[in-house]
Amino acid sequence: MNNANQIKDAFAKGKTFIPFITCGDPDLETTKKIVRSMAANGADLIELGIPFSDPTAEGPVIQGANLRALNGGVTTDKIFNMVRELREDACAPLELPMLFMTYANVVFSYDAEKFIRTCSEIGINGLILPDLPFEEKGEFEDICQKYGVALISLIAPTSANRAAMIARKAQGFIYIVSSLGVTGVRNEISTGISSLVKLVRENTSVPCAVGFGISTPAQAAAMAEITDGIIVGSAIIKLIEKYGRDSAAPVGEYVKSMKDAILNI
């Protein structure tokens, strides 16, 4: 089974909105409700964070979510079970593509082949490892290809000189990091993104999505003008931090506002 093909299908439908949440913040039952709410309100893919104790790419908002989830006792196996429950629900199985975002050490410590095989079995379509250097992704890439899970490549402003090489070997979609530094809401998004997207498109037909810092419908619409998809995390995590177990409805409303913005450009 090649789960990665569903990512391609999602982007083929038009401008793609990809929300991110940390699994287990505040608990896994709430995570399930939020996932369903996002799916019902226009999310095209959903990025699920597996908490890690040292999330180097994350700013304070998502670091806080990681800490809350870990303190609540979430584990990789419990997250696998949650995804399995969503996929296999007898009344309303969740069908849209889902990705895991975590760190290489989480996958290594679980056993890379076992982790990726389980991803395939439960219907996870792709894997994002922000701390995995492009030059070291070979072992993961081979296993991902074996089980039909896309290993998503990231291209940051600092990697512009390597963008063509990364793009040519990309799978699923390319995650373009909009700005230097860690994740977090920003007032302005780098204007250099258009040249990076142009370089990527000259070297691959794989779609690209921009993340890191996008939080408002206006920002989403501006980025959707030049790219194929938008990724938003910190703004959603802030809503979850505010509303806790009652987050599903406000997160759904926010997702709808962002999806509407990129559809109306």
- pLDDT, tens only, 82-125: 999 999 999 999 999 999 999 999 999 999 999 999 999 999 99
Cβ neighbours around 67 below 10 Å, total: 15
Q: Is 13 helix (H, G, I), strand (E, B) or coil?
A: coil
pLDDT value, residue 152: 97
Distance CA 227, CA 221 (A): 10
What span, in angstroms and rounded, lies between the C-alpha atoms of 137 and 79?
A: 24
Residue with the bigger pLDDT between 44 and 4: it is 44
Distance CA 42, CA 127 (A): 21
All residues at 6 or more sequence positions from 121 whose CB lies less than 8 Å from its CB, including other chains:
none
261/265 Cα distance (integer angstroms)? 7
CATH number of 5-263: 3.20.20.70
The pLDDT value given to residue 186: 42
Mean pLDDT value of segment 7-15: 94
Global confidence as pTM: 0.93
59, pLDDT greater than 80:
no
All structural domains of the chain with their residue ranges: 5-263
Among 27-31, 160-164, 243-247, the least confident range? 160-164
Neighbours of 118 (CB within 10 A): 19
The pair of three-digit structure tokens given for residue 200, joined into one six-digit string: 């990527």
pLDDT greater than 50 at residue 183: no
Range with lowest mean pLDDT among 38-42, 160-164, 179-183, 194-198: 179-183
Percent of the chain at pLDDT > 70 equals 93
Q: Which among 122, 133, 52, 56 has a CA at the least distance from the CA of 89?
A: 122
Q: Return the number of other C-beta atoms located less than 10 Å from residue 88's C-beta.
A: 11
State how far the Cα of 156 lies from the Cα of 165, in Å rounded to an integer.
13
Tell which phi-psi region holds residue 111, choosing left (phi > 0), alpha (psi between -120 and 50) or beta: left
- Among residues 252, 229, 230, the alpha carbon closest in space to that of 239 is found at 252
Question: Is residue 28 within 8 Å of 50, Cβ to Cβ?
Answer: no
Q: Which helix (H) or strand (E) holds 9?
A: helix 5-12
